[in-house]
Chains A and B, each alone.
Chain A
């Protein structure tokens, strides 16, 4: 099957997947403890009439399947209704935060890959030497360090003590120089754990490849070591790394909740957390659907990358 046909097929498959996700999200939000009306009223006692009026306003007086159907009809056109807490459009709220989250996720990914793969390669090539040991310990630390703590430490050292960065984002456009400068610390915080993961994976995968026959052949035919490592070994090692890296994209975009809190970054993660605590169900549904979409597309990206990295892979 050609890649194009495969892609078309995969894209078609995403439709039922997303449909399933939307159904699941909707049901899970239904199952959350607590009555939405109580949250809208902030637990204030209300007359039955007022409760009934609010229920009608948000279609809560309809059976679940009717509500799902109503929601789905709008959701396919990216209309997720209004927040039950702020009365503002959910799509607008998402659109306001998404660029922030994407920027931070992208920078985090660049750091994760930019540090993880080279370190993994060096570590594998220097297998057993001091450089390898140090890199492995550093990777372990990177994985073990909680995001939250790392972010606060970076803030304390580089913002409060040294004064190199601001603690909160400047009141500037997203792609302006001061804003990009500000994103360095959150991007490092976000990318550290992923880079450690990618480093370890690259290393182990390369160590395995380095013992293969084709490497010996390549060396025997006199190829420079650099070409052997970067062109042959690395490319073959990257298959498994790509799977993880692609999923890390989804993680970096959607898993930035903690980093967004520490760095006061107005992203989707914060929107989701406040929506969950306030049972703002239209926002929860929209954000979870968005996260699911990212994961589906990150997987798709991984599949495309496979065939680019290893032309033998055909679907």
Chain B
């Protein structure tokens, strides 16, 4: 397969990087997990996904649920756009996550689950798939959902800013009958089920131009859009005609009648609103208040390891950063434990490999530790040896003058300072730190010559459940900046080939091995090094909110409010 073929299929997703810089962005995968009745039907062998250990409260029990009431939660930004083909920010995805539903969703352990597609099965050929739709599902405008709506929902992405969400994998589709649609992929695509989860199904009338989603979001989800007051609130009401018929552990209808999301930009104001009782739940917990909130029994903090990491990228065209020993030497001087403790108040875990433990099918905390021990973890003795050898091989005089650059994210600046201090304490480096306004920064790090400037680049990366999202755009040789995010311009035929294989291998065990080999190779070569895996967190009033669990993917943060496919629901008691 030619490189061009591969490239065409891949979503060169710079949003992941931009999002990590602290601006509006979206996690492309698993954006809209919703409900699903046949929750026992799991496909693709992913059902044994290990769940990352985190503190989450006991899920609500269907026996004690209280129906009705209003939940007042928060968004950290306004909802920009209700149309999924136009919305590029996580807040919008969170807002319509309970209004729209996709064919497939992803549960809290990362297993794809059927939502509107009853089975989510593969046909006999590798590129041919069949979706068997639930019958009797109606949109919020009363129309029944059929295969025509699914086809129209996919094809309306063409020529929109979110085109890649569908056209990275979709080739064509044929409507078999009202509830069956066959579709063909352009190429084998292992993360397909996650990709399906990012494409909400909307009425065909939207594609025909008869409904404008930007004003009137209409889906099949458990909640119906009620009102949006810009910069003030976004309100949804329970869908009284929701298709789910209930199960032993799930009520047939969302318990909470009204959900009002108040838009509060300031983290400290969110916290104050929670403490004053103006809201029941907040979606950003300031690190400085994390422990206080946890210690206070009036509040519950839920947290999950998130899909993403902070990183430091090396400009590999600059000597001595063209030497892997120097890169690993620098990595071994990064005090990750101290960073997690002092900068993030203990929230998160040190990262020494590129895939978050969230994607537990592909990695584990032990594997991360192993990569740290072997290649990248903090070890000043090994660092000195590596740097001595590296500097000699590169023929560079010490101290080498260089810079760490970052945007104005306060926490990122702090950890960059700790790295600066650590490197400056050796005889090898004289490092300065430089901060940029984010627009300028994005331009700088995605510039064609990002690998030629004498700058160590401090940035973050966000991904999700699938391994490819952590690896592809950072290490593939076709994704050099400015096309995407291979900032060091790292090129390895072996890695390229493994990335391609990883995308096309459907067998989970085989795929896991590919990504572990791949991770080992990029840890050894160290074009970038990793700092910390973050966490998603929510905090709520313990007496008022019951059963809520934090979803680890930011764009699906409120899936825990009601998601039959994930057997999750929340109720209020106040």
Contacts and interface: CB of A to CB of B under 8 A. Distances in A.
Contacts of A96: 229-230
B262 A42 contact: no
Interface string A78-111: 0000000111100001001100000000000000
Interface in B242-271: 260, 262-266, 268-269
B440 interface: yes
Nearest to A264: B264
B269 A263 contact: yes
Contact of A45 (B26, B81, B275, B483): B483
A223 interface: no
B269 A43 contact: no
A56 to B, nearest CB: 12
Interface string B186-220: 00000000000000000000000000001100000
A163 interface: yes
B59 to A, nearest CB: 29
A278 to B, nearest CB: 7
A143 interface: no
B232 interface: yes
Contacts of B484: 45
Contact of A34 (B13, B164, B269, B439): B439
A100 to B, nearest CB: 9
Contacts, number: 134
B272 A266 contact: no
Interface string B9-25: 00111110110000111
B278 interface: yes
The binding surface of chain B is classed by DSSP as loop
A136 interface: no
Contact of B266 (A41, A43, A262): A262
B272 A44 contact: no
Contacts of A53: 159
A181 B264 CA distance: 19
A33 B446 CA distance: 13
Contact of B86 (A87, A168, A266): A87
Sort chain B's interface into a size bin: 35 or more
Contacts of A88: 214-215
B136 interface: no
B265 A264 contact: yes
B264 A50 contact: no
B276 A160 contact: yes
A159 B272 contact: yes
A166 B274 CA distance: 11
B14 A45 contact: yes
A283 to B, nearest CB: 11
A96 B272 CA distance: 26
B269 A264 contact: yes
A270 interface: yes
A40 B446 CA distance: 17
Nearest to A47: B163
Interface in A260-286: 261-264, 266-267, 270-271, 274, 277-279
B12 A45 contact: yes
Interface string B78-92: 101101001011000
Interface in B67-97: 77-78, 80-81, 83, 86, 88-89
B442 interface: yes
Interface string A197-228: 00000000000000000000000000000000
Contacts of B232: 169, 171, 264, 266
B78 A50 contact: no
A86 B86 CA distance: 8
Contacts of A262: 266, 269
B12 A87 contact: no
A264 B230 contact: no
Between B160, B215, B230, B233, the greatest number of chain A beta carbons within 10 A of the residue's beta carbon is seen for: B230
A152 interface: yes
A163 B278 CA distance: 10
A42 B214 CA distance: 18
B112 to A, nearest CB: 23
A169 B273 CA distance: 10
A277 B229 contact: no
Interface string A27-42: 0000011100000111
A266 B75 CA distance: 14
Between A34, A45, A54, A279, the greatest number of chain B beta carbons within 10 A of the residue's beta carbon is seen for: A45
B279 interface: yes
B13 A97 contact: no
B83 A261 contact: no
B276 A264 contact: no
B161 interface: yes
B161 A42 contact: yes
B83 A87 contact: yes
Contacts of B379: none
A42 B26 contact: yes
Contacts of A42: 14-15, 18, 24-26, 88-89, 161
Contacts of B231: 97, 264, 266-267, 270-271
Nearest to B86: A87
A274 B230 CA distance: 12
Contacts of B80: 85-86, 278
A167 interface: yes
Interface string B438-451: 11101100100000
A138 interface: no
Nearest to A53: B159
A3 interface: no
Interface string A133-177: 000000000000000000010011001100100111101000000
A106 B88 CA distance: 36
A54 B160 CA distance: 9
A46 B276 contact: no
Given A40-B161, A274-B78, A277-B23, A168 B264 contact: yes
A88 B215 CA distance: 8
A45 B164 contact: yes
Contacts of B272: 152, 155-156, 159-160, 167
Nearest to B19: A42
Interface in B1-57: 11-15, 17-18, 23-26
Contacts of A32: 439
A261 B15 contact: no
Interface in A60-94: 85-88, 93
7 contacts: A42-B26, A42-B88, A46-B161, A88-B215, A262-B266, A264-B266, A277-B438
Given A40-B161, A168-B273, 12 more contacts: A33-B440, A45-B13, A45-B14, A53-B159, A155-B269, A167-B269, A171-B232, A171-B233, A264-B266, A270-B265, A274-B77, A277-B439
Nearest 8 CB-CB pairings of A with B: A42-B88, A266-B231, A45-B12, A43-B14, A167-B273, A43-B18, A266-B232, A167-B272
